[in-house]
Structure formats: C-alpha cells, structure tokens
C-alpha cells in the first residue's frame, strides 16, 4: 500500500512503540491527577520526546511535518493536558475525540447547574423584574455522537494502537493524528504529497467541521501558523518548534474540494472568513406578564456598547443551543464551539442580552459564550476556539470602538455585582484556567511593559504554563484541583505565603479569602492593572479591595510588568470613597413614569491615600425595559460622571466628584 512501511519493518516498529508506551503508561499511573500541593515543575525543556514523535509520525504516514505540527497547534498548542479530555472529548496533542469515554469518566452536570460557588443569580441582574425560568435541556447522548466526536476509534483502527494509549500517551496520540490526516487525504482522492500546500482540504476536514466556512477557517489558521512558525514549551515541559514558511499558500482549488456543506451565515454579524450561523433567541411573552429572553434595543443609537463579556457555557454546545432558544431562559449574543471554533449568533448586537448578572453591564455589552466548563470534565479550551473567538471579538471591538484592554474585555468573573445582595451570586467563569495572556495576544493587544519601576502601576502577567497555584473544589469541595497552568496570581495580606489571603468583605466578611476555584476574593489575572502600594524583595504590593495585597513577583521570574496609567484617589478631605457596581444617573435625571434607581453603594470602600487604575469615564445611564411592549423602553441619561476602576478581581465605579485623577508615576512608590 502506498505510504506504508513494509510489513516486517512496520511490525518491529509497532512492537517498539508499544513497549515504550507501556513503560510510559506505567510511570504515568504512579502520578496522581489530583495532587495535594503545588503542581510538579515541568520536565527540562531539553526533553524533545514529543518533537521526535512528530518527526517520526510524519515520516511514517507521509504527512508533511509542518502540517502535522500546525494541526496539533490549532487543536492543543501541542499540550497533552495530562490525558484529561477537552469539553468535546478530545484527548492529547492531536485532540483525538472519544466523547463516550469522556462522558463516562467525567459525568456531565444537569444542564444549568453551576459548580459550587459559581453564582446562580439570574443573568439579567435587575431586581426591578427578577427572571423566572422553567428552562431545561438535555445532555449529550454518547449513542448518537457524530463521527467527528469519535475520531480516536478511527485512529485506533488505522494504527493498531490501544485506545487507552491514544488517550494517555502523547507519542501514540501524535501517531494517531498523523494516521487520520493521511487517511483523510486518501479519502479526498489527494496524493500523500510532500508539499504542505496540497493538504489544505484534509486539514479542513480534520477539524470535524460540518460546514465549509468553519472547516476552511480552521485550515486558514493552520496555514497561518505554518507561515509564521511557532515555538513553545508544552505543559509537560517539552520543547517543540515549527519553522516558519512565509511563502506557503494552499494549492488552487483546495478549498472547494473539502466536501463540506455550504455555510449559511445570513443575518449574522461576523467577520468574513469565519463559520457563523444564525440561531435566534426568541423574544416572546411567556405568560403572567413575563417575557424572554432578552430586550429589544437600538444600540449604539440609544446606548453605547463599550464592553465585551467573555463567558463559558458550563454546558455542551447542544445544551447551550437548546437553552438559548428557550424563551424562559437567558440569551447572549454569540456562542463559540470548542471542537472547531464554529460560531452561532443568537441576538443582533443592537439588542440587550441577559447574560452578565448586572443590568448596567448588560445594557452596554456584548456577551460571548464559549463551549466549556470552568473546571470539568476537562479544564482546557481548544486553540481553534481561542482563535475564532479572538477574531470575532477583535471585529466587534473595531465596529464599536471598544478598547482592547482588560477593563473593556471582561470575563464574566470580572463583572461587578449591581448591589450588595448580588455579590455572592455572581458567576466566576471563564475562571483561572482561561489563558488571558494568549487571548489578548491573539486580539493584537499583548501584555507588555510600558514603564520602569517608577511607573506606579503593574500589569499582571505570569507565565501561564508554569504558574500553577493550588485551587480547590473543582469536583468536590475542599479537594485539590488537578495541576494546571493559570492566568492568575494569588494575593496575600503580607509578603509571605504563610500569611492569610486578603479578605473580600462582600464574600467573606472580615475573614480571609480561600483557595476555592470559584473564590475570586484574592485573585488578580493577566492583563489587569493595579496601582503599586509597595515592594519588598520578591514581593509586590498593590491596592486591592481597599487594602494592601501582596503577590510574589521575583525579578528572575516576574509575574507582572511595570506600566503607566491614570489612577483615581479620594479627593482631599475625604477619608473614604464609596464604590458602586453600576453607574446610574442622579435622581433628577429620571422622567415621569420611570422609577428612580438607587445608587446603592457596595460594601467596599476606597480609603484616602489608596490608588486604583482608571479604565474609562461614564455618564450615568439607565436602560428602562421591564415590559414586552418596547414602547415604554427608555434610556435615562444623567449628568453625574463616574470612573470605572479595577477595584479587585472585578471592576467597579466611583463618582468623579469623590476622586482626583493622577498620573500613576506621580508620587508612586518605586
């Protein structure tokens, strides 16, 4: 058979491979997935077992090495994730899918259930009309899983390797992916060419996409990776590199030969070149004067859109599609699929979704959900989803002139509670395992230093792969979570890991925060900026939730970079300044028939002498929408000016009349 080694050579290699995998599996079995302390340090970067696996598999199955590396990068960035599956049941560097095993080993929660501590409040975030919901949705049925969710079975048949090895051993997984690519190329009637340009259609099919636009978007990203080149150390500490091929372009006609169905993006607001479909959320009455699951508006003509909120679905794609089409549930604007980066749009961006848990934020934001779970069944998001999401968000940010920074591109876990009663119910997705540094780089806004130590501000920026703080409660309360890279640094009340964590009065009263994966009370994430409050050895202090918070920031391995910015501090004569979760107008601004909304300060305060980085200025605004008939909908605009500040892990607002703005370098501690 063309492209195969002689039977005798192939058998000898198979025996050697199986012996190596058996030994590796025996060692792996001794390593618990759930540890009791900090994750083990990665192996030295000089270990190139994985790099050799790519080279060997490419040669064995006559797949160009750059294609194999490029596809794997788009699936997992070459990471193995300790054999834990992605949300779509994908295992290993090649994301070989085995949804049946993934669902058996990681049983899904009932639809709509959030992990312990992850809120539970309604997404509307407005107590003038609390949401009532009867929404239910099923979970995936392994018996009806499509072929794209079972590629590991096909890889096992093609290679003769055990399914368990393909799931857990990176070398076997890479071989399985190479075999799949070669088999896909043959099925398309294409030659096993040494020219990467001839593999475009096979790459598109490897994505598992069902429509041409999504498949070709995946292939375009793979070829872009090959053109640019990549090099990184994986989560197992192995160095892998892909040399740049700047002139590479797919062979003529390859896109038309994918065999995928035509895409239908009619009615969507997506950038060109992405697979995007319209799956509308219903706007209809549900009885008893209630309606759902969003509000009709005319943004940006009636209200400015200045925020994009990043969520994860805490459920599977099919579940999310069921829920967003239920008029008794909630609606957001977009959902991005894990397996291939496919996008569904549910609301026009002019309309207001119920997704953030804060009505003020909802009225001014676009909500983008990502298929996934904050903690399980896997704790990782595919590169295809990161890239597609970043292209969508960058497009929306340009359309609405939204700054590409972490006070305008928020996680759901950065959205403030509208009032004190909402604080414990606010959601915490996408969580500490979302790679904000990588995502901001994909947006074209990478974190970088803009000053020296004199700048007065730090931007959080730990190395994601090696930054592995202990989290608890991913599956069972109190249990230690699997070792995993994280975008967040932990904040202490003194410059010592033996010191208590800083407190969050809204979550814990005067007690310290915890290491719980859903506890955001002592956490600062990549891209967030804070005013420097002091330095001591390898430790840096920042102003955070009204207190001095310390994090490790050694010069040899920094977890933050120095920056400049504008900071707010209480004006002279004020001992403290109240903070708010929404920037509503003054009472005099409300017309007759629109109830005045309380400013309702949160339990946090900014004491005199403290400084907080300013993200922007906002005039008070309130979107009154409590009836199905839009005739009564009103946008109330006030004169009172607010500044958005990075108060803690979540943003907040202070009245401009209460604070003075200063350049961060002025009088800042070095």
H, E, C per residue of 604-655: CEEECCCCEEEEEEEEEEEEECCCCCHHHCEEEEEEEEEEEEECCCCEEEEE
> pLDDT grade, residue 1 (50/70/90)?
very low
Would you tell me how many other CB atoms lie within 10 Å of the CB of residue 626? 14
In this predicted structure, which of 16-30, 223-237, 484-498, 611-625 has the lowest mean pLDDT?
16-30
What is the structure's pLDDT at 632? 93
> Which pLDDT value is given to residue 379?
67
**Mean pLDDT, range 28-37, rounded to an integer:** 30
Whether the predicted pLDDT of 588 surpasses 50: yes
- Give the integer Cα–Cα distance in Å for 540 and 538: 7
| For residues 43-65, average pLDDT | 84
More confident of the two residues 206 and 10: 206
Compute the mean pLDDT over every residue in the chain, rounded to the nearest whole number.
89
DSSP letter (8 states) at residue 117: T
Mean pLDDT in residue range 620-644: 96
| Range 73-81 average pLDDT | 95
Contact of 172 with 165, CB cutoff 8 Å: yes
State the pLDDT at residue 667: 81
The pLDDT tens digits of the residues spanning 178-195 come to: 999 999 999 999 999 999
Domain at 42-98+150-257, CATH from 1.10.3470, 1.10.530, 2.60.40, 3.40.50: 1.10.530
Ramachandran area for residue 189 (φ above 0: left; ψ -120 to 50: alpha; else beta): left
Lowest model confidence (mean pLDDT) among 300-314, 328-342, 371-385, 551-565? 371-385
Segments making up each domain of the chain, as ranges: 42-98+150-257, 276-444, 570-663
Mean pLDDT of 389-414: 98
- DSSP β-ladder status, 239-242 and 539-544: unpaired
In which element (H, E) is residue 531 found? strand 529-536
pLDDT attached to residue 18: 35
Residues recorded for the chain? 670
Q: What's residue 12's pLDDT?
A: 41
Angle between helices 170-187 and 7-29 (to 10 degrees): 140
pLDDT of residue 158: 98
pLDDT at residue 21 greater than cutoff 60: no
Q: How far apart are CA 520 and CA 544, in angstroms?
A: 12
CA distances (Å), origin 153, targets 82, 100, 203, 317: 20, 11, 19, 22
The span from the CA of 409 to the CA of 402, in Å, is: 8
Other CB atoms within 10 A of residue 16 CB: 10
pLDDT in tens, 130-177: 676 777 777 777 777 788 899 999 999 999 999 999 999 999 999 999
Cα distance between residue 72 and residue 69, in whole Å? 5
The alpha carbon of 212 is separated from its chain's Cα centroid by a whole number of angstroms, namely 25
Q: Please say whether the beta carbons of 298 and 241 come within 8 A.
A: no
pLDDT band of residue 110 (cuts 50, 70, 90) is: low
Pairing mode, strands 576-578 and 523-525:
unpaired
| Radius of gyration in angstroms for the set of CA atoms belonging to the chain, rounded to a whole number | 25
Whether 276-444 and 42-98+150-257 are alike in CATH topology: the answer is no
Going 440 to 443 to 445 to 448, the CA torsion angle's sign is positive
Confidence bin at 129 (pLDDT 50/70/90): confident
Q: Please write the tens of the pLDDT for every residue from 467-498.
A: 999 999 988 888 999 888 999 999 999 999 99
**How close are the terminal C-alpha atoms of the chain, in Å?**
69
Q: Which fold has domain 276-444?
A: Lysozyme-like (3.40.80)
Q: Which helix (H) or strand (E) holds 179?
A: helix 170-187
Give yes or no for a cis peptide into 430 (omega within 30° of 0). yes
Over residues 332-359, the pLDDT tens digits come to 999 999 999 999 999 999 999 999 999 9
State the pLDDT confidence band at 378, using cuts at 50, 70 and 90.
low
d(CA 300, CA 302): 6
The Cα-based distances of 283 to 74, 162, 267, 277, 627 in angstroms read 37, 50, 16, 18, 12
Rounded to whole angstroms, how far apart are CA atoms 237 and 82?
A: 12
Helices (H), 405-509: 436-442, 505-508
Percent pLDDT > 70 in the chain is: 90
- How crowded is residue 572: how many other Cβ atoms within 10 Å of its Cβ? 7
**DSSP assignment string, 90-122:** EETTTTEE-HHHHHHHSPPPPTTPPPTTS----
DSSP run (H or E) holding 651: strand 651-655
């Amino acid at each position: 058979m063309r492209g195969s080694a002689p039977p005798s050579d192939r058998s000898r290699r198979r025996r050697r491979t199986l012996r190596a995998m058996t030994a590796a599996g025996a060692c792996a079995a001794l390593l618990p997935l759930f540890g009791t302390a900090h994750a083990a340090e990665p192996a030295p970067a000089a270990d190139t077992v994985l790099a050799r696996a790519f080279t060997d598999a490419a040669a064995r199955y006559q797949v160009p090495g750059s294609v194999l590396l490029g596809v794997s990068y788009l699936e997992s960035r070459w990471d193995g994730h300790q054999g834990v599956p992605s949300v779509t049941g994908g295992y290993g560097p090649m994301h070989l899918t085995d949804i049946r095993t993934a669902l058996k080993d990681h049983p899904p929660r009932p639809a709509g259930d959030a992990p312990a501590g992850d809120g539970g409040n309604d997404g509307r975030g407005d107590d003038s009309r609390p949401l009532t919901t009867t929404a239910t949705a099923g979970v995936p049925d392994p018996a009806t899983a499509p072929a794209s969710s079972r590629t590991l079975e096909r890889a096992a048949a093609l290679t003769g390797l055990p399914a368990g090895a393909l799931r857990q051993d990176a070398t076997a997984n890479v071989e399985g992916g190479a075999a799949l690519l070669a088999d896909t190329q043959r099925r398309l009637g294409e030659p096993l060419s040494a020219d990467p340009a001839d593999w475009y259609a096979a790459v598109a099919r490897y994505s598992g996409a069902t429509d041409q636009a999504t498949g070709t978007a995946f292939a375009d990203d793979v070829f872009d990776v090959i053109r640019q080149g990549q090099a990184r150390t994986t989560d197992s500490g192995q160095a892998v590199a892909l040399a740049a091929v700047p002139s590479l372009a797919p062979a003529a006609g390859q896109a038309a030969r994918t065999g995928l169905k035509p895409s239908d993006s009619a009615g969507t607001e997506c950038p060109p070149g992405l697979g995007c479909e319209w799956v509308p959320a219903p706007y209809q009455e549900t009885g008893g004067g209630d309606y759902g699951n969003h509000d009709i508006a005319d943004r940006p003509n009636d209200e400015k859109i200045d925020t994009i909120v990043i969520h994860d679905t805490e459920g599977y794609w099919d579940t999310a599609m069921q829920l967003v089409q239920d008029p008794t549930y909630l609606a957001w604007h977009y959902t991005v699929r894990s397996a291939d980066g496919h996008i569904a749009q549910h609301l026009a961006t002019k309309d207001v979704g119920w997704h953030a848990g804060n009505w003020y934020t909802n009225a001014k934001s676009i909500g983008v959900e990502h298929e996934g779970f904050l903690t399980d069944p896997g704790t990782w998001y595919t590169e295809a989803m990161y890239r597609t999401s970043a292209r969508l968000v960058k497009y929306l940010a340009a359309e609405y002139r939204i700054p590409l920074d972490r006070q305008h591109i928020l996680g759901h876990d950065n959205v403030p509670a509208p009032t004190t009663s909402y604080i414990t119910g606010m959601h915490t997705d996408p969580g500490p395992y979302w790679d904000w540094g990588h995502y901001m780089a994909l947006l074209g806004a990478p974190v970088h230093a803009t000053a020296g130590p004199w700048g007065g501000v730090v931007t959080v920026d730990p190395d994601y792969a090696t930054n592995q703080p202990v989290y608890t409660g991913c599956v069972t309360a109190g249990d230690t979570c699997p070792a995993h890279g994280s975008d967040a640094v932990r904040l202490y009340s003194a410059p010592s890991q033996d010191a208590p964590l800083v407190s969050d009065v809204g979550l814990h009263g005067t007690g310290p925060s915890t290491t719980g994966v859903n506890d955001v009370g002592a956490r600062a994430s990549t891209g967030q900026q804070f005013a420097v409050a002091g330095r001591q050895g390898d430790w840096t202090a920042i102003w955070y939730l009204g207190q001095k918070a310390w994090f490790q920031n050694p010069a040899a391995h920094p977890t933050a970079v120095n920056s400049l910015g504008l900071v707010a501090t209480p004006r002279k004569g004020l001992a403290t300044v109240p903070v708010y979760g929404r920037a509503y107008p003054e009472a005099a601004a409300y017309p007759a028939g629109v109830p005045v909304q309380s400013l309702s300060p949160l339990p946090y305060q900014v004491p005199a002498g403290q400084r907080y980085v300013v993200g922007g200025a906002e005039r008070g605004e309130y979107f009154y929408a409590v009836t199905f008939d839009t005739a009564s909908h009103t946008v109330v605009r006030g004169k009172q000016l607010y500044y958005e500040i990075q108060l803690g892990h979540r943003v907040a607002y202070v009245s401009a009349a209460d604070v003075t703005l200063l350049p961060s370098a002025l009088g800042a501690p070095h």
